[in-house]
Amino acid sequence: MKANRSLPMLAVVALGLLTVLLPTTESCSCYQQHPQTAFCDSQYVIIAQVLRRTASNDRALDAYKIAIKKEYKVGLCDFVRPYSELSIVEKRGLAGIYRKGCKCKIDVCTRPKCTQKVGSCSWSPYSTCETSNSSCVPTGIVNEDGTPIKCHWRRSLRYMQCLAKNGGK
């Protein structure tokens, strides 16, 4: 009989613990995005150079002095990488090419074959060619409201070389 009474109490404690811990796990619930999607959906983006780091006992509280090279838009789940690690196409994307494709939607596709929706490009997070070497841009055919009817992966030289090297992936 005593075991039956402690079960509801255990459930309340478990629920309380879950409620307390849930906000701390929120940052781990981000889906992988194409850099263009991160750029188009973000509030703020910058290119900055780290000038100095002031270490503390808690690494999360380290302070950085930065020089802002260029301002764009970034959020918690968005694309954050050192500029030196970006491909030339990603650098050009941040400089303005991604902005041209913001009206196109990039649909995440994890299956081998995906259907392309109106005004979008299908993208696999496992595809290096589209991720690092291309952007999704409108073909020029638009609806009355200006939204694109058809979008495609921009066929840059690096994108075509990547497709040839990786067998179209």
Residue list for the binding site: 28
Distance from C-alpha of 78 to C-alpha of 80, rounded to nearest angstrom: 6
Q: What is the pLDDT of residues 61-101, one digit of tens each?
A: 888 898 887 775 555 666 778 888 999 999 999 888 999 99
Question: Domain residues of the chain, as ranges?
Answer: 32-166
Entry field: residues in the chain: 169
pTM listed for this prediction? 0.65
Structure tokens at 168: 């179209």
Distance from C-alpha of 87 to C-alpha of 165, rounded to nearest angstrom: 16
Residue list for the binding site for Zn(2+): 28
